[in-house]
Each structure stands twice: as C-alpha cells, then as structure tokens.
Amino acid sequence: MKTIYILWIRQLKRYYRSKPRIIGSLGQPVLFLVALGFGFGPIYQKAGGGDYIQFLAPGIICMSILFTSVFSGIEIIWDRQFGFLKETLVAPVSRFHIMIGRTLGGASVATLQGVIVFSISLLAGFKPYLIALPLALFIMVLIAVIFTALGTAIASLMEDMHGFQLIMNFLIMPLFFLSGALFPLDGLPRAIEIASRANPLSYGVDGLRFALINVCHFSLAFDLTFMLLAALIFLGLGSYLFSRIQI
C-alpha cells in the first residue's frame, strides 16, 4: 500500500513541478476548443445540431485526458532512459504494486488536466448541467485509468522514444478522431462506425456528454460497463507486460 502511495505522490510532484508541461499540454485543447468550436459553430447550428460548443467541450475534455494519460504511461520509457526505473525494479516490492502506483499517479494527473480543461471550457461558453458533476468526474477517472494503463503496456514493449511518432499517428490520433469527440456518431459509414464502437474512448465521450449535457448515443449503463471492462483488461495487460520488463 505504501509503495503504491509513494509512487502515486511522485507522479503528482513531477507534474506539479513541471509548469511548462502543464501550460504546454493545455495549449492544444484550448486551440481545438476555440478554433473548432467557433469555426464549425455556425455550420453545426445551421445543420440543426444546436450549440456546437456544448457538443464539443466534453469531447475536448476527453481528448486532453487521453493525451495526458497515454503520455503518463509512456513516461516509463523516460524512467528507463534516466535510470530511475532500475531503482524501483531492484526494490523488495512487487512489480504489480509499482505498476498500480504509477498508473494511479498518471491517471490522477490526467484527470486533473481534464478538470482544468473543463474549467477553461466554461470560459469559452460551455454551459453544462452541474447536477451530475460527480458522475462526470468518475467517468474522467475511468478514461484516465484506461489510457494510462494502455500507455504503460505500450511503454513496457518499447526500448526508447523512437516509436513515439508511430504511436502518436497510428494509435492516439485515431482513438481521438474516431471517438465521436468532434462529430456525432449517427449515420456514419459502416467501417468508421465499427471502428468507433470498438474504441473505448467513444464510451468515455458518450458518458461524459450524458453527465454534462444530457445527450447520449449509447446508454450510460453500456458506457460504464464497457469502460470498466476496458479498464480491467488494460490494467491486466499493462501489469503483465510491466512485470516482464528486463533492464
């Protein structure tokens, strides 16, 4: 338990101390929110979709959680290169605890990031229902855990940062674009619909939209079930691959 706690607090400290990183990682969601929100807003309205910012904001919150959590998981590669990973691997603690501590730490950081983007979206004109805020927070945590564990799993397989572009372009970007974060999932071509249905982030976006603006494509129960399952699978996969890391 103490192992998990100390590694969790380590992630938070590292996050808090790297101010440039916090500001830098806020740039993208803000840009998306402003450029897309105000850019597509009029067309979306004309098409009868209503206020685009309302629709977009939950998606952008999910995007920032997705990016931050995958990168938090991938931080293992830095720890490997800067050597700190070895310090934890020769310690008399189980690798499972190490992995859980790191993942919870990364997920907390990503959730925090999501909350910050949420606050910014309020400034951009987002008007959510505040009743289900605890539910929204819970969904944000779930998304964060799923993708931090995924990042951990990927990082356990990678030697260095060379594969980074690959992951960015062939995993994270598709996850984001095919999640319904930017557009509704109704009436899509078959292939894209299948892809978005297999994407755990779709259910995160959907669940968060339900909690914040009371709009839902699937159903809340289905969203939550799918995400809990995904969280379990990725945590299992991540801890398995992490336990096999050789220095």
Partner 1 sequence: MTASVLYIGICNMSAIIVVDDLVKSFKEIKAVDHISFSVNKGEIFGFLGPNGAGKSTTIKMLTTLLVPDRGKILMNGFDPLTEPDKVRQTFGIVFQDPSIDEELTAWENMELHGVLYHIPKKVRRRRIEQLLKIVELWDRRNDPAKRFSSGMKRRLEISRGLLHHPAILFLDEPTLGLDPQTRNLIWGHIKQLNQTERVTVFFTTHYMEEAERVAGRIAIIDHGRIIALGAPGELKAATNASSLEDAFINFTGRNIRAEEVSNLDQLRRRVRLFRR
Task: Centre a 10 Å sphere on the Cβ of residue 13 and count the other Cβ atoms it contains.
Answer: 11
Angle among Cα 95, 62, 65 to the nearest 5 degrees reads 35
CA distance from start to end of the chain: 25
CA dist 106 and 69 (Å) reads 6
Which positions from 35 to 74 touch partner 1 by CB under 8 A, shown as an x/- string? ----------------------------------------
CA dist 92 and 3 (Å) reads 10
Does residue 12 bind partner 1 (CB under 8 A)? Answer: no
What's the closest the beta carbon of residue 7 comes to partner 1, in angstroms?
8
Does residue 17 bind partner 1 (CB under 8 A)? Answer: yes
Q: Which of 88, 148, 152, 199 binds partner 1 (CB under 8 A)?
A: 88
Applying CB under 8 A, the span of 42-50, 66-74, 77-85, 163-171 interacting with partner 1 comes to: 77-85
**What is the dihedral angle through the alpha carbons of 182, 106, 155, 61, rounded to the nearest 10 degrees?**
0
Does residue 103 bind partner 1 (CB under 8 A)? Answer: no
Applying CB under 8 A, the span of 3-11, 26-34, 122-130, 141-149 interacting with partner 1 comes to: 3-11
Of residues 183-242, which lie at the interface with partner 1 (CB under 8 A)?
Answer: none
Residue with Cβ nearer partner 1 (25 or 199): 25
Does residue 247 bind partner 1 (CB under 8 A)? Answer: yes
Give how many residues touch partner 1 by CB under 8 A.
25
Buried b (16+ CB within 10 A) or exposed e, 64-95: bbbbbbbbbbbbbbebbeeeebeebbeeebeb
Please say whether the beta carbons of 232 and 76 come within 8 A: no
Binding residues (CB under 8 A) for partner 1: these are 2-3, 5-7, 10, 13-14, 17-18, 82-93, 159, 246-247
